[in-house]
Structure 1
Amino acid sequence: MTFLFIFIVTFFIMECITWLTHKYLMHGLMWYFHADHHQPKYANVFERNDVFFVIFAIPSILLFYFGAEAGFDYKFFIGLGIFAYGLSYFLVHDVLIHQRFKLFKNTKNKYLIGLRKAHKVHHKHLGKEDGECFGMLFVPFKYYKI
């Protein structure tokens, strides 16, 4: 039961970490990598922004490894929480919102529509300043109104 709690808490903490990383690093010091994500799309399958998947995967992989070496202790379940959040992020951000894979185009789900609206507001700013809606799974309730 303790490991389930660690997994769930890690998952939700990742939303806070993602918000902070997005606002202060991606729209700050690491704008070079994130900038192409805010520009009109080209035929390229990958963006420089995809480097953030690798950056977030490294701690997860290390925690999996060292947690498994220690008999599947708490480190493993922290790594699992980071992985689950990363998978959710990929499915919501890249599949649902940006349609990198053409799925869920015609959803009627208020929550998913709200996520799309909030992200669209975030992307109306092409530069790194004046950004808003930096979260991924939790966005202001005003975007859920249809």
Structure 2
Amino acid sequence: MVSFLIFLGIFLFMECVTWFTHKYVMHGFMWYFHSDHHQPKYAHTFERNDIFFVIFAIPSIVLFYFGAEQGMNYLFFIGLGITAYGFCYFMIHDVLIHQRFKWFKNSKNKYLIGLRKAHKVHHKHLGKHHGECFGMLFVPFKYYKI
């Protein structure tokens, strides 16, 4: 039970980490890597912005390693929470919103439509400043209204 609570707590905490990182790191000193994500798309499979998947994966890998080495302790479940959030982020951001993979093109789910609306509002700003809606899984309720 404690392991599940650690996993769930870290998963939920990652939304806060994502919001902070997106607002102050990606739209801050690491804008160089994130900027191509805010520009009109070009014919490349990858963006510089994809480096953030690697950056977030490194702590998960390290936590999995040391958590498993020490008998599946709390470190393992912290890594699992980060990884699960990363998977959800990928499914929402890259699959649903940006359609990098054409899997869920016609969703009628109000929650998913709200996430797409909020992200479109975020992307209306092509520059580093004046952004809004930096979260991913939790966005203001006004975007859920149809």
Residue in 2 that maps onto 1:121: 121
Q: CA RMSD in A?
A: 0.3
- By how many angstroms is 1:124 displaced? 0.1
Residue in 2 that maps onto 1:15: 15
1:101 aligns with 2:101: yes
- By how many angstroms is 1:104 displaced? 1.0
1:42 aligns with 2:42: yes
Residue in 1 that maps onto 2:140: 140
In structure 2, C-alpha distance between the alignment counterparts of 1:108 and 1:95, rounded to whole Å: 15
Corresponding residue pairs, total: 146
Q: What are the within-5 Å matches in structure 2 for residues 13-92 of structure 1?
A: 13-92=13-92
- By how many angstroms is 1:112 displaced? 0.2
- By how many angstroms is 1:71 displaced? 0.2
TM-score scaled by length of structure 2: 1.00
In structure 2, C-alpha distance between the alignment counterparts of 1:107 and 1:89, rounded to whole Å: 17
Runs of 5+ consecutive residues of structure 1 not aligned to the other structure: none
Q: Where do 4+ consecutive residues of structure 1 move more than 6 Å? A: none
Runs of 5+ consecutive residues of structure 2 not aligned to the other structure: none
In structure 1, C-alpha distance between the alignment counterparts of 2:82 and 2:112, rounded to whole Å: 22
In structure 2, C-alpha distance between the alignment counterparts of 1:48 and 1:32, rounded to whole Å: 8
Residue in 1 that maps onto 2:3: 3
TM-score scaled by length of structure 1: 1.00
In structure 2, C-alpha distance between the alignment counterparts of 1:67 and 1:107, rounded to whole Å: 38
